[in-house]
Amino acid sequence: MKLKHLLSRKLLENMTEKRRKDHFYFLARRLGYRSRAAFKLKELADRFRIFRRGAVVVDLGAAPGGWIQVAREHVGEDGFVLGVDLNPIKPFPWSNVKLLRLDVTSPGAPQLILEALPRKADVVLSDLSPKVSGVWELDVARQASLVESALKVIDEVLKPRGSAVLKMFQGYSFQEAFKEVKGRFESVKLTRPRASRSSSAEIYAVALLFKGGEG
């Protein structure tokens, strides 16, 4: 038990030390964002002009809420943001932000998300991630499956010529998942935000001009 306690303490110390060196972690705390991931979306929004005032946004894999905060900043009080996650999200004080606790991979998820919106979405965001196993090809395959689930939501809730941002992992299953994204949008760009950790192989597909149906 003593060895287990020492190992847990050492792991906690290592995590704390990494956070001390993480510029985006401290910047998020200082600016009031719930996660450092907020800066990924801020960069993508500035580069690709994903949002507009008054837009309707769906955020998949939204916990703890950093992307919700960024999306709400861009759409303003006249817009609407729906955060969806299997895990609970601490409520926000804004009347135009709604939270939905839901397994995105469940068959009825797209319809339930659509019913929670005031109208079809202008933007769908997906920062969905699997529980990393450490077996890389397995993790890539699991991430590709989450991309597939996100695309099912997009097919149901995104309006024609809308936009999407989807997290992907590079690996064996990547090309097939990327092909599915490209088939649905007129323009798809792959990019890696500066706030992505150097140890992560994540990459984001920024998809513009939804064709309005399954590709």
| 88-139 confidence digits (pLDDT tens) | 999 999 999 999 999 999 999 999 999 999 999 999 999 998 887 778 788 8
Lowest mean pLDDT among 76-85, 165-174, 198-207: 198-207
Active-site residue 167, yes or no?
yes
- 141-163 burial: b if 16+ Cβ within 10 Å, else e: bbbbebbebbbebbebbbeeebb
Residue 3 pLDDT greater than 50, yes or no: no
Could you tell me what percent of the chain has a pLDDT over 90? Answer: 65
Candidate list 167, 182, 189, 211, residue with the active-site label: 167
Residue 195 pLDDT greater than 90, yes or no: no
DSSP character for 130? P
Confidence of residue 17 (pLDDT cuts 50, 70, 90): very low
Confidence of residue 211 (pLDDT cuts 50, 70, 90): very high
pLDDT of 40-75, one tens digit each?
999 999 999 999 999 999 999 999 999 999 999 999
Architecture in CATH for domain 34-210: 3-Layer(aba) Sandwich (3.40)
Instruction: State the distance between the two ends of the chain, measured CA to CA, in whole angstroms.
Output: 55
pLDDT of residue 170: 83
The dihedral sign for the CA sequence 42, 139, 124, 205: positive
What average pLDDT is seen over the chain? 87
In angstroms, rounded to a whole number, what is the distance separating the alpha carbons of residues 111 and 168? 24
